[in-house]
């Protein structure tokens, strides 16, 4: 009987850990979604609000995505 109680307690601890990691992953996915939308807006609209796709090159887009679009600090 004591063994069963110990197993239940152990399972509860593991489930709580799993739930915590799932929440963290969900929050990270939400942040990624928001940040990627911001990067897309920044890429396709310049600071002046005009469509700037014609002046953007692949290196600029890549740098913006890699650095988080904020000069390298995230």
Give the integer Cα–Cα distance in Å for 20 and 37: 26
Question: Comparing C-alpha atoms, which of 66, 40, 36 is closest to residue 51?
Answer: 40
Domain boundaries, the chain: 2-67
pLDDT, position 9: 96
The model's pLDDT over 17-45, given as tens digits with 9 standing for 90+, comes to: 999 999 999 999 999 999 999 999 998 88
CA of residue 24 relative to chain centroid, distance: 10
Question: Comparing C-alpha atoms, which of 26, 29, 30 is closest to residue 18?
Answer: 26
Whether the full predicted model's pTM is greater than 0.85, yes or no, is: no
Report whether 42 contacts 69 (CB < 8 A).
Answer: yes
């Amino acid at each position: 009987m004591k063994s069963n109680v110990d197993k239940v307690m152990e399972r509860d601890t593991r489930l709580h850990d799993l739930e915590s990691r799932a929440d963290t992953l969900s929050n990270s996915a939400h942040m990624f979604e928001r940040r990627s939308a911001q990067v897309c807006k920044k890429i396709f609209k310049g600071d002046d609000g005009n469509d700037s796709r014609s002046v953007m090159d692949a290196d600029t887009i890549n740098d913006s995505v890699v650095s988080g679009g904020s000069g390298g600090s995230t």
